[in-house]
Structure 1
Amino acid sequence: MPDDSEAGSTLPLRARLHHIRADALDGDTAQSGGMRRFAAVSGQSVGSERIWMGQTHVAPATASSDHHHGASETAIHVVSGHPEFVFLDDTNGTPEEVRLRTSPGDYVFVPPYVPHREENPDADEEAVVVIARSTQEAIVVNLPHLYVHGREDGPDGPGH
C-alpha cells in the first residue's frame, strides 16, 4: 500500500502524490499459474482511474498459464532474467508459435485480447518484469490454450 505518512494523508486519494515502497506491493491480484503478480499503482491502492502498474515474478524453469488481459493494453519492462513471451501467428496460413526472447532493459507491448504466456527457461534465476496496463486493475483471463487473436475459433468468441 502507499506510504501516506510523508504527505497530506488527509487529502483525497486523487489530490496528492503517492509513494509505494518496494516492500509494500500488494499480492492480492489476478494470477496465472506459474507467476506472481504484485500491484503497486491501482484503483484500490491510489485511486488511479486509467492505469495499473506492478511487478510480475516468474520462477526459474516455469511457464505461466495461457492468458490475455481483456481490453487492457499492457506494456512490459524486463528488470531481471530472460523471460520469453509466446503467442501464435497465422499470417502464413498455419498457426505458428512465436517466441520473443528478452533481456533486462527490453520492453514488450501486448495488445488487448492477445493470448500469450510468459516463460522463464532459466533453471536458476527468477525473471522479474514491471507491467503497466491501461486499466486501473489487473485484468487476467486464463485460457485453456493459445489461439490466434481475431480467429473465430478463439474461446472468447468472434474477434477474440
Structure 2
Amino acid sequence: MERPGARRIIAVKPERELLTPQRLPYFIGISGSTAGSRALSMHIVVIPPGARAEPHIHETHETAIYVLQGRVETRHGEGLSESIVSEAGDFLFIPPGVPHEAINLSATEPARAIVARNDAGEQDKVRPYPPRIRSGAS
C-alpha cells in the first residue's frame, strides 16, 4: 500500500481546531498524519485575545514562525527571562531545547501565525517547562 504523500501531492484544508499541549488552538496543515510528511510540519496557531501558551520546550526540532496578525511577546531562555516582540510580517526562529511561551499582547484581537517545524509529528516532542517563580510577574 502506498503511503500518503509518498508519490503524490496532497492538499490539506485545516478545518478543525486542535488544542495542543501548549494550550493554544492549532489548525494542523501538513504533518506525518495529514499528508505523510517525513520531516516537516506546518500549521496555523491562533492565540486568543490576552491568552498565552503554556511554557514549553520542543526537544529536538527547530521551529519557524511567521506572524500573520497581531503582536506577540515571546518570553524565552532560562526562567523565561528574555523577551522578544513579533508582529504581523515578522519571522521568528526557535532552536531546539529553548524554553519559551507566547503571549498575545492584545486584549481584544486574536494573534495568528504560521508555524513550521522540521518534524512530521507536530506535537510529539513538546514538553512542559516549569519556569522559576518570578516575583510580581504575571
| TM-score normalised by structure 2 residue count | 0.83
Question: Partners of 1:50 and 1:142 in 2: how far apart?
Answer: 23
- CA deviation profile, 1:43-72 (whole Å, cap 9, x unmatched): 011100000110111111111111011101
Partner of 1:59: 48
Matched, 1:76 2:76: no
Query: Which structure has greater strand proportion?
Result: 2
* Pairing 1:19–2:5 present: no
Q: 1:58 to 1:36 in 2, by over 3 A?
A: same
Q: Which runs of 5+ in 2 are unaligned?
A: 133-138
Correspondent of 2:95 among 111, 128, 143: 111
Computed over aligned residues only, the root mean square deviation of the Cα atoms, in angstroms, reads 2.3
* Aligned CA distance change for structure 1 residues 77 and 54 (closer, same or farther; 3 Å): same
CA distance in 2, matches of 1:97, 1:122: 21
Paired position in structure 1 for 2:135: none
> What is the count of residue pairs matched by the alignment?
130
User: If you compute each CA radius of gyration, which structure gives the higher value, 1 or 2?
Assistant: 1
SS of structure 2 residue aligned to 1:86: strand
Are the aligned partners of 1:59 and 1:120 in contact in 2 as well (CA < 8 Å)?
Answer: yes
Q: What is the distance in 2 between the residues matched to 1:112 and 1:68?
A: 8
Q: Which residue is equivalent to 1:6?
A: none
| 4+ runs deviating over 4 angstroms | none
Please give the TM-score of this superposition, normalised by the length of structure 1.
0.73
Higher relative contact order (CA 8 A, sep 6+): 2
> What amino acid is the match of 2:22?
S
